[in-house]
Structures are given as C-alpha cells and as structure tokens.
Amino acid sequence: MQTAQRILRDYRRRRLIVCVALAVLALLLTLSARYIADRDSNEQRMHAFNQRAVSSLENVLIPLDLASKDAMQLMGLSCEAAQLKMRELVARMQTVRDIGLIKDDIFYCSSIFGPRSIPVDLVQPRLPSPLPLLFLSIDHTLLKGTPILLSWHPVRNSQHDGVLQIINIELLAGFMLEPRRPWVSRAMLNIADSHYEYGKGLLPRITVDQGQVSHELASDVFPFSVTIIGPSSSQLALQNMPTQLPLALILSMLLGYITWLATANRMSFSWEINLGLALNEFEVFCQPLVSSRNLQCVGVELLLRWNNPRQGWISPEVFIPLAEQQNLIAPLTRFVLAETVRNIDIFPKSPDFNIGINIAAIHFHNGEIIEDLRHHWFPAHPIQKLTLELTERDALPDVDLRVIRDLHRMGVDLAIDDFGTGQSSLAYLETLNPNVLKIDKSFTAAIGTDAVNSTVTDIIIALAQRLDIGLVAEGVETPQQAAYLRSHGVNVLQGFLYARPMPLKEFPRWLGGSTPPPRRNGHVIPIVPLR
C-alpha cells in the first residue's frame, strides 16, 4: 500500500524531474540555437568581407580599363603633348600612381617624370606582353621598395606598344584588406603567384597558423582573388557561448516555471484519479453488516478500492482524503453509485437490507447528491434501503440542511460514520437527524483493554438508545467484542470476525455460506472470518 506522503512526494519528484528536464533541454536548445546562429553569422561576416574586398578592387580596376583606352589615344604623341592629359587621368582616378606610355618596347613617357627613354623590360621584366596583364611588383622608381599593382594594356595588333598603369596597392589595401577582428585576422590579395598582405607587403606564399582557417574568393571579372584567414566560425561561436549563457538560463528557468504551472493538474493526484476512473482502475468492494442477534447479513457497506498499475494498491485512507482535497470525491461517489446500480441484483431484494455508501459533506452542496441519486439510484427502482454515511473528518455543519430534509423525505437514511472521533459534536445529532451512528473501530478495539475508551463506547451506545438512533459497531474482530456489544444493545456488527471487504462479485457466494451458526447453552457461537 502507498502512503499519502509517498504518493505526493513521487508526484512532486516527477513534476520536478519533468520541469528540470525541460529546463535543461531548453537551455541546451537555446545554446545550440545561439551557437548555430553565431556560427552562421560568423561565416556570413567572413564571406561578406571577402565579397566586399573583391568588389572594391573590381570597382577600382574597371575605370582603369577606360583610362587605358583614353591613354592609348595619346600613343604616338610627343611626351610633352601627352603628359598633361595623362596627369588629368591620374588625378581623376586617385588610386593610380603613374601612367606610362610604351612605344617599340621603350618606356618613353611618364605622367610623373615626363619624357623617358628606358627599355620597358628594365622597368618590369614581364613586359612587353601581347596580352593584358595584372600583377604585383615592387616600385623601383618613385617610392622604391614599396608594393605596387601593375596593369598592362597592349595596343591592338602590337605587342611592343601599350599603356602601363602603376596602382598604389597600399592605399587600396587600407580600405579593402584591413582585417576585421575577430572574424578576419589576415587578408591577402592573390594575383598569379604573387600575394600581398595588408601591413606585411608581398609574400612568397600563404601560410595558415594552426587553429585558423582560410577562405578564398576569386573575382569573376579580373584575374585575382582575395584570401582571408581567421578563426573558424565554430570556434568563434564557442568562444561567444559564455555571453549567451545568462539569457539561455533565464529562458530555461522561465520554461521550467511554466512547465511547473502547466503540470499542476496533469501531473497531480487529481489527474491520476481522473485517469483511474477513465481506465476503470477502481473497483467497488463490500463489507457485510450482520445482525448481532442471529448473525444474518442485514446490509453492506460499499468501499472503493484502487489497484493503480502505476503505483500499486493505494489505500482508501490515502486516496479518499486526497480526492476530497482535490474536489474529486463526487466523481468517485458517482462511480460507486453507478457500479452499485449495475450490480444491484446481487443484493437480497428486501426493503430491510441496507446498502451503505460513504459520502463527503462537499457532495451535499447545492443539492448535488440529490441530482446524482436521481440520475443513478432512483431510476433503477431498488428495493433495498440506501444509507449515506457521512464521515466526521468532514465539516459536517457545512452540510446543507435543506438537502438533509429532502433526503429524509426521499426515504434515504443518513449515518454518521466513525462517530466519536474527529469533529464530534452533539449538535450534529440535532441538525443532521441521523438514522444510524457507526461506532468507530478504535472504540471497538478498546473493549476489554482500555477503560477510558470502553466508557466512551458505553456513552455512545446509551446516547443512541436514548435518541432512538440505530447503532453499527465497526471493527469487530474478536468474539469477546461481539459479545460485549450484543449485550449492550448494539444490533448490527461489522468487522473481520464476520467478513473482510470483498469484491461485489464474491458477495453472493459469501452470502450463500453465511447460515446462522449453532447455539450452545442458548448463546450464539460467532462465525470465523470467511476471508
């Protein structure tokens, strides 16, 4: 059997486990979502940096093509005639450091130095070339030793003539290749087999440090690419996790609290009772009441038992009080009424046979019990007498007295169960006008052993007899107790001495075997328990 404390503790523990599990799951999902979002955001930032660098350089190189066409129009003119126009082109483009005109492999005019007469291959060994070229090199004329970007445009149908543009790559790199930490720690421009890194100049090759990754993006218009190096997006996302933890904790705790509130009913004893009713886990038992004179069965008390497959057998002393706390005692009572009516034929068809059903005081509010009797009991037209037993753990004065009067008019008897315990008051006898008092088993057990309780038992018996109220003694377990109660005028006995609570289907078999016992010297010999 389960105890109330254990059951409630189990439910609280399960609720807590569910809430903590969901909170932890929410924490993990939130951190995972933030991790994925940060990782994707980091990748997008790195890709955006690459695209911006490539696009910026393309925007610089596209006007160079137009400028080279304008400069070719000056080919054949004297340097004095062409230099002013070339300087205007340089000023207009800003990023171009110098424009040179090459004729018959001779660098003969510079926008900066004016007339010159130098073989172009001495300026740049790669020139002249029949094809347009874009390459990185070192400046040997103006700012010696600094990196430059060279753009060569040959004159059509001639590999010895062309326009050479010298671009200030360091100026471009300032807004194109400057790293954006923490996503980009290094950025390089790649043209052919040459590499330029912002802040370091030309490099023979690209090296990637351990723990870092590289991303390269090539231009679709010009023969160059941009390589960026930095921590992996996953590594950056992990490094950012501690900053996401406070928000994730708040969200997980909020979800845990909401889950605690949401499971208050579903993961509670009230939900378990409703589930037990829906799955037909409850069973109605009956315990016979026998006449103290001839030991014939004169009635039964219907008792509810619960074999919960999730918890095992749960004692009525556990689930009945909990059901009353959860306002679920009325559905349980309706179940008992329905099962009683369904099995009404197993009981003796006699108006003197009493069927007792335990009722909570709250079931009397607003005449609810009368409506349930009209719905379940009276349509079956039972011959047997119905007795509603009110337990004293309820606040009996709260019972609607109008309902009490209606029940008496309808022929339903009232009994005060466990009389002498709980909230006993003589005022109950006047306000409730009960037909029966059921002596609590604690007083029955004290017969012959406890002088004080035996005296109380005698007082209860005398009071009932004085008020002409019927008496039923509960918990009769020994022949001595039965003899004492019978000698003091208690007419109906109930207890293990005669029968233990049994399923309804076993009652007819018990009833068939409950013949009057033999007498010895004029006294009835009590029968032994059948179960």
Q: Tens digits of per-residue pLDDT, 24-54?
A: 998 888 888 888 988 888 889 889 988 998 9
pTM: 0.56
Mean pLDDT value of segment 216-223: 90
The SS3 assignment for 84 reads: helix
Query: How far apart are the C-alpha atoms of 46 and 133, rounded to whole Å?
Result: 29
Residue 493: name the closest of 434, 419, 441 by CA.
441
pLDDT band at 380 (very low <50, low <70, confident <90, very high): very high
User: Do 197 and 187 contact (CB within 8 A), yes or no?
Assistant: yes
User: Do 492 and 471 contact (CB within 8 A), yes or no?
Assistant: yes
Comparing 1-267 with 268-517, is the CATH topology the same? no
Domain 1-267, what fold? Answer: Beta-Lactamase (3.30.450)
- The per-residue pLDDT for 266 is 54
Instruction: Locate the domains of the chain by residue range.
Output: 1-267, 268-517
Over residues 483-531, the pLDDT tens digits come to 999 999 999 999 999 999 999 999 999 998 854 443 333 433 333 333 3
Over residues 306-361, the pLDDT tens digits come to 887 777 777 777 788 777 777 788 889 999 999 999 999 999 999 999 999 998 88
Residues 319, 325, 331, 334, CA torsion sign: positive
Question: When comparing pLDDT for 312 and 405, which is higher?
Answer: 405
Work out the end-to-end distance of the chain between its first and last CA atoms, rounded to an integer number of angstroms: 19
- The per-residue pLDDT for 3 is 57
Which tokens in the block code for residue 72? 């070719």
Class of the CATH-defined domain 268-517: alpha beta
Question: When comparing pLDDT for 95 and 406, which is higher?
Answer: 406
